[in-house]
Amino acid sequence: MIDKQRHLSRRELLRQTTAAGVAAATTFVPMRPAIGQQAKVKIGLLLPYTGTYAALGHNITDAMKLGFAEAGNKMGGREFELIQLDSEADPAKAAANTNKLIVGAKVDFLSGPVHSGVAMAMAKIAREEGTITIISNAGANAVTRGMCGPNIFRTSFSSWQVCFPMGTEMARRGLKRAVSMTWNYAGGKEMTGAFREGFEKAGGEVIKEILVPFPNVEFQANLTEIAALKPDAVFAFFAGAGAIKFVKDYGDAGLKARIPLYGSGFLTDGTLRAQGEAAEGVFTTLHYADSLQLPANIRFRAAFKQATGRDADVYAVQGYDTARLLIGAMDKVKGDTGATKALIGAMEDTRFDSPRGSWHFSKSHNPVQDVYLREVKNGDNAVVGIAQKAVSDPGTGCGLA
């Protein structure tokens, strides 16, 4: 890091010297050109475009593009460019990838990722560098708790926020013994951990927590174990291609009729077409549902379908809200990316009329939002009710006033 800064400042010095020489030899160049004449605003996107989370990354990106297009592809009167980098959902590459965008491409804003492990590395660097960063999916609790920062915002959810309500709900339904199952990484473990917290607080017991390596999709041995344990229910977190495989395998193993399947909504979001009959009757909690009869949702789903030929899902909604957040804040400061304090203030004040319903930021910059209870019915995530209203992550350890 120190080496890089030294190398960079040498490079920067070289650039400035060259620029000064050119200016002196030609004509007067103002120190800070009028905002309208500045270069394009750069927005770095660190998202998965390959691998098990590829569909999630594409939907976030395409919905951002839709949001930008609806605003005339300008923010604060300025043109912009998206610099897309494939995160490969690989935490081991996250620091290098983040540096490529912040230090290498010198982005004005950073957004992404999908994977919580990537988010931890990305948020740490972004906080140190002061780059305004909008987490458009990853639920890692710490990002808006102990690792929070004035320049770090999240337009998606915290892992705790979407899973704790399902624990309460399952206990309310009289379920007593549950097994949880997920991938063995921060995002998965936090989701099953939050479910456990809610379930056990309400009188249930998690008799076994099954962890499989990310992004493995060989579930047979675990499903055999679940059958032998005979719990009242299973709670699972998987997403993307892994969720498709898990739900189908669960059905094929003949478990669905005997042991009801529950999960966070990622288990059935953007996946229903591929899961088919196997997903019918699965209950999940999430801050979004396809079938929400809100004008903003109906309009957004039609526009996304027209733009991409695909159905919108929770990831698309998060991308869309991210674009609208950026546009709103940049419009407020008339495109002055140097006005960091004003930009942050504008973001904090944003009130969203989103396809998911209305929401705003908590003090730790995480959404305060309703969490819906959904059931898959006729190939749709139908809203059964609101599992918990205006859920706010506790933001433990975040010192933002």
Q: Which residues here bind ligand BEZ, judged by CB under 6 A?
A: 53, 114-116, 137-140, 187, 239, 266
Cis geometry, peptide bond prior to residue 215 (ω within 30 degrees of 0) = yes
361 — phi, psi (to 5°)?
Answer: -85, 145
The token pair at 304 is 């996304």
Round the CA-based radius of gyration of the chain to a whole number and report it.
Answer: 22
Widest pairwise Cα distance in the chain: 81
Residue whose CB is nearest to ligand BEZ in the complex, by number: 187
Q: How far is the CB of 201 from ligand BEZ (least distance, A)?
A: 23
- Which CB sits closer to ligand BEZ, 144 or 337? 144
**How many Å separate Cα 282 from the centre of its chain?**
22
- Which CB sits closer to ligand BEZ, 264 or 337? 264
Q: How far is the CB of 235 from ligand BEZ (least distance, A)?
A: 15
Q: How far is the CB of 287 from ligand BEZ (least distance, A)?
A: 11
- Which CB sits closer to ligand BEZ, 194 or 343? 194
- Which CB sits closer to ligand BEZ, 98 or 137? 137
- Which CB sits closer to ligand BEZ, 98 or 337? 98
Spatial contact of 141 and 158, defined as CB atoms under 8 Å apart: yes
- Which CB sits closer to ligand BEZ, 219 or 288? 288
CA distances 79 to 23, 39, 73, 108, 287, Å, are 25, 8, 7, 13, 32
The alpha helices in 150-239, defined as continuous H runs, are 159-172, 186-201, 220-229
Phi-psi region of 73 (alpha: psi -120 to 50; beta: other; left: phi over 0): left
Q: How far is the CB of 190 from ligand BEZ (least distance, A)?
A: 8
Q: How far is the CB of 325 from ligand BEZ (least distance, A)?
A: 19
Helix (H) / strand (E) containing 42: strand 41-47
Partners of 42 in the β-ladder: 81
- Which CB sits closer to ligand BEZ, 138 or 376? 138
Q: How far is the CB of 63 from ligand BEZ (least distance, A)?
A: 15
Cβ-based neighbours of 194, under 8 Å, separated by 6 or more: 159, 160, 161, 162, 163, 164, 167
Q: How far is the CB of 238 from ligand BEZ (least distance, A)?
A: 9
